[in-house]
Amino acid sequence: MTDTTPIPTTPVPTEAVPSTSLPSVPVSFVPRRIAVFGAGYIGLVTGACFADLGHRVVVRDILPERIDLLRSGDVPFFEPGLGDLILRNKERLSFTLDVREAVRDAEVVYVCVDTPPTASGDADLSRVWAVVEALKDTAAHLVAVVVKSTVPVGTGDRVRAALDEAGLHHVGYVSNPEFTAEGSAVDDFLRPDRVVIGASDETTARWVEGLYAGVDGPVEIMDVASAEMVKLASNALLATKITFINEIATVCEATGADIEHVARAVGRDHRLGPHFLNAGLGYGGSCFPKDSRALRAMASNSGYPFQLLNAVIEVNELQPRRAIQRLKSELGGLRGRRVALLGLTFKPGTDDMREAPSAVIASRLLAEGAEVTCWDPMARPAPVEPWSSTTRHPDVPSALSRADAAVLVTEWPELVDVDWSAAARRMRTPLLLDGRNLLEPAAMLDAGFTYMSVGRATRHR
């Protein structure tokens, strides 16, 4: 991309947890010593938030540059409030590359490593197994190993067996999936909808529940397999809601209905709710695409073709491509056209580019022979295609200069305040495809634009 921008121990657990969840009980705060493996989005937020609750935390990662950055007081990615949280708790929060240093005094190890998809769609658990292997010679004094990474159902049984084979029968195992969203991760951790704790015995479950004393949210205690499934099922259902409203939007475009009116009225039904009913260019990020594919692969491996999830994934992959076809039809072709992408990250409030629709859109525009310019206030795309063949600008007006069309990809709030009348005069063809339905159609017409959106008829100037 061309860039023009300048801890005490507990007894051996004995009481089994039934398959139904246990009622939560009041717990008092006891400061513990926690080792967190993985300094990515989940691990760093987990470590910082536990330190803020009063625990002593060591975060371990395998990347020297990341640990050096954290030791210097910087955060390797953007997450609102996280930097302040780390700074405020620097006396209780440290960072290391050394496994033994991380585990030396720890009572509990949190596994927060990546589980990316393999070629088959299954989760790659190699990083999880690397942590388990590292604990074999260092974890004799541990109370529990807690996996927060998203893993297939059944992983807990395999980890439990590995711990037993290593002579760590006394170490409890817990599945404690995360439900934090990028852009609000700190608040999601400290004020969650729920904390899910899956364990094979009640003693370990209650011990881990005690770590969350001070967190403002209900605790659900259940068996390990159910906890593992909760995470996958939650993300699959949210992905399904997004895909469903995008399908309805397509029908709205064909029939003259307005998806904004439809979604608002549908969302007022208390059985359905308004959340995740915003039509757009499809979901992205590190969770929904990966977890949907992992659940589909897990179902297929069990002999069940998850047809609904197949459709969800297929529709979502087509959504940004539909936008290109609409743009191509409106312009009569894209070869030789200059198209500006406004927003690159998969959502506002983050610098995360993983599975962002912008990558598909940029790739397709370039393949059609278009020139692509970009603007985003936070994104840090790698210097690879398609970004190597695009031009990044420091502000919206310069990105729009002499453009034949613009695509609003990410609903950054700054875009609401753009002087769109002036922007229209800078463009060769004032055409905007609002992929997030962020702007008001009437206002864009008044500004001189032909305005396209998702689930509504195109409005010509």
pLDDT, position 130:
94
Identify whether 229 is part of a domain. no
273 and 392 in a single domain? The answer is yes
Domain co-membership, 292 together with 212: no
- Shared domain for 194 and 290, answered yes or no, is no
DSSP strand pairing (108-111 vs 93-96):
unpaired
- The predicted model scores a pTM of 0.88
Class of residue 172 by CB neighbours under 10 A (exposed 0-12, middle 13-18, buried 19+): buried
Q: What is the pLDDT of residue 26?
A: 56
Q: Are residues 274 and 207 in the same domain?
A: no
CA torsion angle for 37, 40, 46, 47 (degrees, to 10)? 60
Which residue among 49, 112, 252, 287 is the active-site one? 287
Residues of the chain with confidence (pLDDT) below 50: 5-16, 18-21
Q: Are residues 217 and 271 in the same domain?
A: no
Predicted confidence (pLDDT) per residue in 345-368, tens digit: 999 999 999 999 999 999 999 999
Among residues 290, 312, 159, the alpha carbon closest in space to that of 232 is found at 290
**How confident is the model over 41-72, as pLDDT tens digits?**
999 999 999 999 999 999 999 999 999 999 99
Q: Are both 178 and 289 inside the same structural domain?
A: no
Residue range(s) defining the domain that contains residue 347:
267-453
Is 287 marked active-site?
Answer: yes
Indicate if 192 and 273 belong to the same structural domain.
no
Q: pLDDT value at position 15?
A: 42
Same domain membership, residue 279 and residue 366: yes
Q: Answer yes or no: do 146 and 282 share one domain.
A: no
Same domain, 205 and 296: no
Count of domains for the chain: 2
CATH code at position 272:
3.40.50.720
